[in-house]
Amino acid sequence: MLKTDVADGVATITLDRPEVHNAFDDQLIAALTRAFEAAGADPAVRVIILTGAGKSFSAGGDLGWMKRVAGYSRDQNLADAEALAKLLKTIDTCPKPTIARVNGQAYAGGLGLIAACDVAVAIAGAQFAVTEVRIGLIPSVISPYLVRAMGARACRRLFLTAERFDTAEAVRLGLIHQMTSAEELDEEIADIVGLLMINSPAALTAAKALIRMVDRPLDDDVIAATAASIADQRASADGREGVVAFLEKRKPVWGTA
């Protein structure tokens, strides 16, 4: 159902249901939430990669799960939706950098997983779609992440038409940062991991928090908070070490996050 491998500071979390294109149900949602919580809290982990087994990244909700959900009461549906919302928030607020290694198609909730990650790299020719309206649903839980990634204007079309679009279009829209071939996917991911690994773990965590803080209308509170955050970072051990190492023209020795 789910595999987690940790090596050289990188935790790779793999959706392991290739027979159903890595569609998720309530059990996989819970397992994935626990996996991200554990990796985020593990001092040995510097970077987290999310990917899928086989030829697909994730087809979204599992059909068997959706059949069960169709018979739920509103309270049961609310609890079920809140579990998915918790998963996406856990990925979004994970203190470690997260990379979506998009090895194939992604539909519906699968796009939410991508949008909740910090960096997304996909193979050329992958297919994407926000398909919920096709079955009378709406992409409610994933919508904040998709609107943030692609903008409200693009989502107005994609949420309503449920049309498919390819990797090149996903890059243009902002859902995917980089397109590559299937053969070069791991090399591209390794390059990004390498860039992340030379940076301060504590600063990466603080930078992620900074983005969440300022991704809202600019007001005096945001301005004050940005000033306070850089003051805190400059006074931190890694902040001091980074400046000193730069002045001494040597590689910094970072602490742990």
Per-residue pLDDT tens over the stretch 8-19 = 999 999 999 999
Instruction: Give me the torsion for CA of 150, 123, 126, 6, rounded to 10°.
Output: -80
Residue 257 has pLDDT above 80, yes or no: no
Model pLDDT, residue 66? 81
Model pLDDT, residue 216? 81
Model pLDDT, residue 151? 95
Give the tokens for residue 238.
Answer: 């890694």
Contact 31, 1 (CB under 8 A): yes
Model pLDDT, residue 192? 98
What is the number of other CB atoms lying within 10 angstroms of the CB of residue 158? 23
What is the number of other CB atoms lying within 10 angstroms of the CB of residue 189? 22
* Widest Cα–Cα separation across the chain: 65
Q: Please, what is the average pLDDT of the chain?
A: 94
How many whole angstroms from its chain centre is CA 79? 22
| Residue 238 pLDDT level (bands cut at 50, 70, 90) | very high
Task: Give residue-wise pLDDT tens across range 128-161.
Answer: 999 999 988 899 899 999 999 999 999 999 999 9
* E strands, the chain, in order: 2-7, 10-15, 47-52, 56-58, 98-102, 105-107, 119-123, 127-129, 165-166, 178-180
Percent of the chain with pLDDT over 70: 100
Residue closest to 119 by CA, chosen among 23, 196, 63, 182 = 196
Contact 105, 127 (CB under 8 A): yes
Residue 163 has pLDDT above 90, yes or no: yes
| Residue 84 pLDDT level (bands cut at 50, 70, 90) | very high
Catalytic residue among 37, 82, 132, 163: 132
| Residue pointed to by tokens 């607020």 | 93
Residue 104 has pLDDT above 80, yes or no: yes
Model pLDDT, residue 118? 98
Residue 173 has pLDDT above 90, yes or no: yes
Contacts of 74 (CB under 8 A, 6+ apart): none
* Residue 132: active-site member: yes
CA dist 225 and 220 (Å) reads: 8
- DSSP letters, 63-121, are HHHHHHHHT--HHHHHHHHHHHHHHHHHHHT-SS-EEEEE-SEEETHHHHHHHHSSEEE
What is the number of other CB atoms lying within 10 angstroms of the CB of residue 182? 14
Contact 81, 140 (CB under 8 A): yes
Task: Give residue-wise pLDDT tens across range 56-75.
Answer: 999 999 988 888 877 888 88
| Residue 225 pLDDT level (bands cut at 50, 70, 90) | confident
Model pLDDT, residue 208? 96
Task: Give residue-wise pLDDT tens across range 33-50.
Answer: 999 999 999 999 999 999
* Averaged pLDDT for residues 217-239: 85
* Averaged pLDDT for residues 228-244: 87
Residue 95 has pLDDT above 90, yes or no: yes
Torsions phi, psi for 42 (to 5 deg): -80, 115
Model pLDDT, residue 154? 98
